[in-house]
Amino acid sequence: MQVENLTNDQLAELLVTDRYDEELRRRALALRRKIYGNKVFVRGLIEFTNYCKNNCYYCGLRCENKNLQRYRLTADEILQCADEGYALGFRTFVLQGGEDVYFTDEVLVPLVTELHHRHPDVAITLSVGERSRESYARLRQAGAERYLLRHETANPDHYARLHPVAQTLSNRKRCLQDLKELGYAVGSGFMVGSPFQTPMNLVEDIHFLQELQPAMIGIGPFLSHRDTPFWNEPNGDLQLTLRLIALLRIFFPHALIPATTALATLAENGRELGMAYGANVLMPNLTPAVVRKQYLLYDNKVTGGVEDAQSLEQLKERMAIDGWDIVVDRGDVQ
């Protein structure tokens, strides 16, 4: 079966059956092996603030959630996390946070500059949401090379059912376009099984990514959070997520595709399953343990164990069982 030649309807059909999963998995794995061998890239994730001015209906960090204790790391704490990560062997850091108004360019630019000077051989990745083109340009100038910003869903009506009116798909797309034009390696992606999502929405997501051609594609199952409007919605499906990872690998052979924390939360062996279906990136957490449990996008988010960057050796051992080799590398697209 050539998935590249399927019509939209056929692709939507393919998404709702497990009949071809073995075939998809084998093809995805062969492509992944051809391009990246057995290598697994790791990113040190620093969740530096859980303040957010936005109010996404699915996310536990939404501003209307008053049951969350908010935290913000200081510049020194962030730099310390990075130093620790560097010593552990990480050559890329992901500075991830909610859209925290405290982190203006005046605060963020000097931080990125300092990080870049301390560790010039590290790829600095930002994941701090929607900002102006000028802001993205300044941060790029300061040394940030990559930017993660999921589109969440490529269908405007679906987008409007997941976000308040103040947040629009068109602005999200504008941001992604700006980031690309400014020379960032861009990561985008979507949640699998978010409320109201149809198989055709997922086909639209794939088409959107085909237009954008991002270097990185992050997907994970939607997981409900008790303090959000979607508290009673079912979680995304494991097998559908894995099927999509395989399809994305087939459509984007060179992409950097993580086995996400959400996947590892849904299934204990989620990371391994993600790898088996074509993922090639893991993002262990470098956030200080004292605040890590407050970065709760969804309920039961896994922390500790091999999720900790500090446990990189254990993660290496666990991956080695399946023949994967975690490498000390910036992990650029190949």
Binding track over 41-80 against ligand SF4, x by CB under 6 A? -----------x-x-x--x-xx------------------
d(CA 167, CA 159): 9
**Of 52, 112, 185, 297, which lies in the binding site for ligand 5AD, with binding defined by CB under 6 A?**
297
Query: Rounded to the nearest whole angstrom, what is the least distance from the CB of residue 60 to ligand SF4 in the complex?
Result: 7
**Of 11, 42, 108, 223, which lies in the binding site for ligand 5AD, with binding defined by CB under 6 A?**
223
Q: Name the CA radius of gyration of the chain, rounded.
A: 19
Taking contact as CB under 6 A, which single stretch among the options 118-126, 155-163, 217-225, 280-288 is the one that binds ligand 5AD? 217-225
Pick out residues in 244-263 that bind ligand 5AD (CB under 6 A): 262
Q: Taking a C-beta distance cutoff of 8 angstroms, is the pair 147, 187 a contact?
A: yes
Instruction: Name the token pair of 328.
Output: 């000390």
Sign of torsion over alpha carbons 186, 192, 197, 201: positive
d(CA 251, CA 278): 11
Which residues pair with residue 40 across a beta bridge?
326
Answer with the entry of ligand 5AD, ligand SF4, none that 298 interacts with (C-beta below 5 to 8 A by kind): ligand 5AD
152 binds ligand 5AD (CB under 6 A): yes
Q: What is the DSSP code string of 204-247?
A: HHHHHHHHH--SEEEEEE----TTSTTTTSPPPPHHHHHHHHHH
Answer with the entry of ligand 5AD, ligand SF4, none that 262 interacts with (C-beta below 5 to 8 A by kind): ligand 5AD
What lies within 8 Å, CB to CB, of 9 at 6+ separation is none
**Of 48, 49, 94, 99, which lies in the binding site for ligand SF4, with binding defined by CB under 6 A?**
99
150 binds ligand 5AD (CB under 6 A): yes
CA distances from 84 to 48, 116, 224, 228 (A): 15, 15, 32, 34
Q: Which is nearer to ligand SF4, 149 or 209 (CB)?
A: 149
Q: Taking a C-beta distance cutoff of 8 angstroms, is the pair 40, 325 a contact?
A: yes
Query: Rounded to the nearest whole angstrom, what is the least distance from the CB of residue 325 to ligand 5AD in the complex?
Result: 27
92 sits in which H/E element: strand 92-97
Using alpha carbons only, give the angle 250, 12, 274 rounded to the nearest 5 degrees: 40
Q: Taking a C-beta distance cutoff of 8 angstroms, is the pair 93, 125 a contact?
A: yes
129 binds ligand SF4 (CB under 6 A): yes
Answer with the entry of ligand 5AD, ligand SF4, none that 80 interacts with (C-beta below 5 to 8 A by kind): none
Binding track over 178-207 against ligand 5AD, x by CB under 6 A? -------------x----------------
Q: Which is nearer to ligand 5AD, 90 or 222 (CB)?
A: 222
Interface with ligand SF4 (CB under 6 A): 52, 54, 56, 59, 61-62, 98-99, 129
Interface with ligand 5AD (CB under 6 A): 58-59, 150, 152, 191, 220, 222-223, 225, 262, 297-298
